[in-house]
Amino acid sequence: MTGPKNYRSPQVQGSDSSAQQDFRSPELAFSLSLDARAKIIKREETFFTMATECQNVFAPLCKVLLAVVLCLTVLASSGSNSGYGVTKKIPIPGQGSWDYLTVDETARRLYVSHGTQVEILRLDSGEWLGSIPTAGVHGIALAPEFGHGFISDGKASTILVFDLKTMNVLQEVASPKDPDAIVYDPTSKRVFAFNGDSNNATVIDAATGRFVGTVDLGGGPEFAVADGNGFVFDNLEDQSQVVKIDSRKLTVEQRWPTGPCASPSSMAIDRVNRRLFVGCRSKVMAVMNADTGQVITTLPIGDHVDATAFDPETRLIFSSNGEGTITVIHQDDADKYSVVENVKTLPRAKTMALDPKTHQLFLSTVESGQFEVLVVGRRQMPQAENQPTELQQGVSTPFHFVVCGDAGHVDERRTRRTNDYPEGGTLPPNRPGLFRKMPDPE
């Protein structure tokens, strides 16, 4: 099969007339004399030498251009987009205030504080399952191993113990004034309710519901987390401190200043790397070593944070802010973090719970007088986890490709090509050259 008519072979001086023809024609290629074929191969060798020398000159430039393209590709593909956004709104009848939400990952239920009751929803569908009446709820803690749930009723200054299956209240436990944030510590099998107006914590046995004692905190407590090793950490908002509580001894073991992170109000924990993520009203989040109290770094977040959550699988940290945003931060490693983006939600949507299974977030707010729960999830996978972004640039014809490669690789192929056709051999038709300038489009 002959090549395009406008493609001609190199003109070899001093050869017979057959060498002046299109050597891609099989008939003419086989009729070339040995001398003509040798000169053509020699011409190819000269061409390869020039190409190699030219390539060596432009190799550094090619490497620079390649690095720039790769950087642009990475930036375009990963970008600064977590893919998170509001995917659903679950309306709940009734008016009133709200506070904490709690996810039961195993039973697939969502507990929502709502004025004078706890709303219970099916986690995956948003279906309303029932409610538990209170005088004025703040938070909900769960002890699934005992089948018990605990509600901090701030207005009544009591802790309500309820059955996780029937949702019936089993008993009430008296507490100092204004129990607010509440957490379960699986190591000591105790529930800690932090009393906002009493500067202490109420401790209850999770199995029996019996009052165990109180812990003096020395400041106004906010949110708390348990590390699974027998310690509970809590923010003291008015002192800009984090306290470390021994859950068995019921004593404060350490007091750590939060530094530039002033008025801490939210907290999450990375139990593997021993890191606390402390959200502060000064619009920063502090990363704190849970063993030493060292503030490793701080990052900017939105205004009026009230909840922080950490997803250990995606290594994303979320801070829900009353201004109507969620600040998303990525944990690059234990001591390095980067802000990904601020996801828009709704004003006053500042309390939040994370479902580790689906990686969805749930926030309470009110919109046009309607109380609702916002579901925030990945509307689409981030580009970096899906497929690279194709960088496109319009071009006009004619144009050529410039090939950058390893000169040693060129020499190897050139040697192999030359040795494939020793003297006395036959030059096959349609022999491709190693480098070829493509014709301009007609």
Q: How does residue 95 score in pLDDT terms, banded at 50, 70 and 90?
A: confident
Q: How does residue 75 score in pLDDT terms, banded at 50, 70 and 90?
A: very low
25 inside domain: yes
CA 420 to chain centre: 54
Give the pLDDT of residue 326.
Answer: 98
359 inside domain: no
The verdict on 277 and 415 lying in the same domain is no
pLDDT digit string, tens, across residues 207-258: 999 999 999 999 999 999 999 999 999 999 999 999 999 999 999 999 999 9
- Burial of 165-200, coded b for 16+ CB within 10 Å and e otherwise, reads eebeeeeebebbebbbbbbbbeebbbbbbbbbebbb
Q: Which of 201-205, 326-330, 432-436 is least confident?
A: 432-436
The verdict on 133 and 62 lying in the same domain is no
The verdict on 98 and 68 lying in the same domain is no
Q: Which of 78-82, 97-101, 297-301, 434-438 is least confident?
A: 434-438
| Domain final residue pick, 288, 323, 354 | 354
Number of domains in the chain: 2
Give the pLDDT of residue 116.
Answer: 97
| Domain final residue pick, 303, 331, 354 | 354
Give the pLDDT of residue 39.
Answer: 60
Give the pLDDT of residue 54.
Answer: 52
The verdict on 145 and 294 lying in the same domain is yes
The verdict on 187 and 322 lying in the same domain is yes
380 inside domain: no
Q: Which residue has the higher pLDDT, 289 or 37?
A: 289
pLDDT of 434 above 90: no
pLDDT digit string, tens, across residues 123-177: 999 999 999 999 999 999 999 999 999 999 999 999 999 999 999 999 999 999 9
The verdict on 164 and 202 lying in the same domain is yes
Q: How does residue 181 score in pLDDT terms, banded at 50, 70 and 90?
A: very high
Give the pLDDT of residue 408.
Answer: 44
416 inside domain: yes
> To the nearest whole number, what is the mean pLDDT of the chain?
81
104 inside domain: yes
pLDDT of 259 above 70: yes
Give the pLDDT of residue 12.
Answer: 39
Q: How does residue 82 score in pLDDT terms, banded at 50, 70 and 90?
A: confident
The verdict on 265 and 190 lying in the same domain is yes
CATH number, position 350 = 2.130.10.10
The verdict on 288 and 433 lying in the same domain is no
Mean pLDDT of 309-335: 98
Give the pLDDT of residue 208.
Answer: 97
Range of the domain at 261: 94-354
144 inside domain: yes
Give the pLDDT of residue 1.
Answer: 47
Give the pLDDT of residue 421.
Answer: 40
Give the pLDDT of residue 48.
Answer: 55
364 inside domain: no
The verdict on 98 and 69 lying in the same domain is no
The verdict on 69 and 98 lying in the same domain is no
Give the pLDDT of residue 37.
Answer: 56
The verdict on 130 and 194 lying in the same domain is yes
241 inside domain: yes
pLDDT of 19 above 70: no
The verdict on 64 and 98 lying in the same domain is no
In contact, 90 and 366? CB cutoff 8 Å:
no
